[in-house]
Chains A and B, each alone.
Chain A
Amino acid sequence: MIEIEGITKRYGESTVVDDVSMVIEPRSITVIVGTSGSGKTTLLRMINRLVEPTSGAIRLDGADNRSLPGYELRRSIGYVIQGHGLFPHRTVAENIATVPLLLGWDDERIRARVEELMSLFQLDPGEFSGRYPHELSGGQQQRVGVARALAAGPNVLLMDEPFGALDPIIRNKAQEDLLAIQKRLGTTIVLVTHDMEEAVHMGDRIAVMDGGRLLQYDTPDRILAHPASTFVDTLVGASEKPFRLLSLGRVGDAVEEGPAEGEPIAADASQRDALAELLWSGRPALPVRNANGRLIGKVTVDGLVRRAACPA
C-alpha cells in the first residue's frame, strides 16, 4: 500500500505538485493521467525520491520512504521510463541484472533470476542474453526495460509513459503482456500516461491531475460516468465516452439467451470490440463462445447500446 499524504513540490515560485493526497491499494494498477505539465511525472518521481517533496509524506506499507537513503529505497522499487533507458554499453542480461548486482546477490542466483525473467517476457535467454540493446526491436527493448525493473522482485513498480515509444500494434501487445504479468506477480503498479484510452484500459483506478492538483481519483467507470469537473470530462473526450465505457466490460457479461447467426465471438473480448463487429457486419446479433469453445448465447446491438448509456 502506498499512502501519499499532502505532498507538495515547489521549484522557486512555481508549484508543480500541489497538496496531493491519495492511497494506492496493494496489488492494483493505478494510472495517473494528465496533460504535460500537470505534475504527474513529478508525483511519480517523489514516490521513489528521484524528486524530494517540499512538504508532505509518502509511506510504503506503513514505512516513511525517507527512512532509507534514497538509493537504497530505489533498489526496492521497480522503475520503468519512457524510451526505456537501457544501458547501451551492457548486454540484455547485464541490464536485467542491474539491481540484483547492486544488492550483492551471488552469481548463480542472478543468472537464474535473469533467465526466469527473460522467459517470462518471451525473450529466449540463449538468443538474447548476450545482445546489446541497440540490436533489439522497440518492443523487445521495452520488455527488457520492464524485466530490469522487476529483477529484484519489487512490490511496487513505477512506470513513466512506459509505452510512449512504441507503435500502436506493439503497444497493445505490451499492454496486454503487462496486465498478464501483473496478475501473475501481484505487483502494485503506478503508471503515468497522457493517454486516457490507456488509462481506462489499464487502470483499476485512475488519478486525473491538472496544474499540479489531483482533480479526481476513482475507478474508470465512475470517472467516465461522473467526471468531477469539465476538465476531466474534456480529457475523457465526450464523444468517446460510450465506447470507453464499453471497453471496460467483457462480452461474457453482456450475454443474452438465444441463438444467432455467423462466426462466434469470444466471451473475454471487450464489449466495444463486439459492438464494432456487429456494426461492421450489419447484423443485429452475434453468437458468443466461452473459453472451451462452447456456445453460451448471443450478444446484441440493442443490449450493448443500453450498456453504453451513462450509468445513473
Chain B
Amino acid sequence: MKWLPTIARLALLALLVAFVTSPGWFEPLLKPLTENNAPAIYNQGSLLTLTLLHLRTVAIATLAAIVVAVGLAILVTRPFGAEFLPLSRSLVNIGQTFPPVAVLALAVPAVGFGEKPTLIALFLYGLLPIFENALTGLTTLPANVVEAARGAGMTPAQRLVKVELPLALPVMLAGVRLSVVISLATATIGSTVAAKTLGEVIIAGLLSNNLAFVLQGGLIVAAIAVLIHDGFLALERMAARRMGRER
C-alpha cells in the first residue's frame, strides 16, 4: 500500500500531460457540461501554451521572490542588519494581510496591463511566506551547532554557507512550497488584467457561461498545484530526514 500514493501521483501527472497536449481526447467527457452546442475544449488558444506560460510566470516570480526574500532574511540575521529584524517581522505580518487581488489591482496603475502586474503581485505575495520561513529557519538553528561551527574556526561567510543555510533548508523549502501553491492559484486572477495564464480559460468560461471551460482551467491548475505541492513535500522530507528531524 506504500506505493499507492506514488502511483496515484504518476497517474495524475500522465493525465495532466495527456490533457494539455491532446485535449481532444477528453471532449466526450466535457461535452455534457456545455449548452447550445458550445465548444467543450478551450478554442481560443492552445492549452499547452497557456499552461507553459502560466508555469513560466509563476517560476519567474517565485525565483525573484526566493532571491530577494532569502537575501533579506540573511541580511537581518547578520550583526549588520540585526536592527531591522523586529521591523522586518512586523512588515511581514502586515504584508500578509494584503489580499492578492488587491495587490494585483494596485499594481495595474503602476505598470499597466498584461504580465507585468501579475508578476509584481505574485512576486510581492510570494515574498512573504519565503521570507518568514527563511527567517524562522535562520533564527531557530540549534545553538550548539552554530557554536561548534564558530569554534571550528569558520568565518561568518563559511558558517552561513556550510552550516546555517543547509540547516535552514527544509524550513525554507516549506516557505517556497507555500509561495508556489499560492502563486499558481493567484496567477489565474492575473488573466483579469490580461496576463496569459490558465485564468484566461476560466474567465472565458465564466463570461460565456461555459462550465466545461471553467472546469478544465480549474482542474489543470489544481492538478499542477497538487503535484508541485507533493514534490516539494518529498524534497523537504528528504532534506529533513538527513538531519534526523522527522516531519
Contacts and interface: CB of A to CB of B under 8 A. Distances in A.
A86 B148 contact: yes
Interface stretch (B130-138, B150-158, B223-231): B150-158
Contact of B151 (A50, A72, A83, A88): A50
A134 B243 contact: yes
Interface in A31-52: 48, 50
Interface of B: 142, 144-155, 158, 163, 166-167, 169, 242-245
Interface string A113-154: 000000000000000000011110000000001001000000
Contacts of A135: 244
A233 to B, nearest CB: 33
A99 B145 CA distance: 14
Contacts of B149: 85, 87
A72 B150 CA distance: 11
Given A86-B145, A102-B158, 4 more contacts: A81-B148, A85-B147, A85-B148, A145-B148
Contacts of A79: 148, 151-152
Contacts of A81: 144, 147-148, 151
Contacts, number: 73
B145 A71 contact: no
Interface residues of A, number: 28
4 cross-chain pairs, A with B, having the tightest CB-CB distances, nearest first: A134-B244, A85-B148, A75-B153, A79-B151
Contacts of B147: 50, 81, 85
Contacts of B169: 89
Given A102-B158, A132-B242, A132-B244, A48 B144 contact: no
Interface of A: 48, 50, 71-76, 79, 81-89, 98-99, 102, 132-135, 145, 148, 158
A135 B243 CA distance: 9
Given A85-B144, A85-B145, A99 B244 contact: no
A10 to B, nearest CB: 20
Contacts of A73: 153
A283 to B, nearest CB: 48
A132 B166 CA distance: 14
Contacts of A145: 148
B63 to A, nearest CB: 24
A87 B145 contact: yes
A88 B153 contact: no
20 contacts: A50-B150, A71-B154, A74-B150, A74-B152, A75-B152, A75-B153, A76-B153, A79-B148, A81-B144, A81-B148, A82-B144, A85-B144, A85-B147, A85-B151, A88-B145, A88-B244, A89-B243, A99-B153, A102-B153, A132-B243
A218 B107 CA distance: 73
Contacts of A85: 142, 144-149, 151
A71 B160 CA distance: 14
Contacts of A132: 242-244
B115 to A, nearest CB: 38
Contacts of B244: 88, 132-135
A160 to B, nearest CB: 9
A133 B145 CA distance: 12
Contacts of B151: 48, 50, 74, 79, 81, 85, 158
A81 B150 CA distance: 11
A102 B145 contact: no
A102 B243 contact: no
A84 B144 CA distance: 7
B161 to A, nearest CB: 12
A48 to B, nearest CB: 7
B144 A89 contact: no
Contact of A89 (B146, B154, B155, B166): B166
A264 B42 CA distance: 95
Nearest to A151: B152
A132 to B, nearest CB: 6
A72 B145 contact: no
B157 to A, nearest CB: 10
A83 B242 contact: no
A79 B149 CA distance: 10
A102 to B, nearest CB: 6
A148 B242 CA distance: 19
B144 to A, nearest CB: 4
B152 A148 contact: yes
Nearest to B150: A50
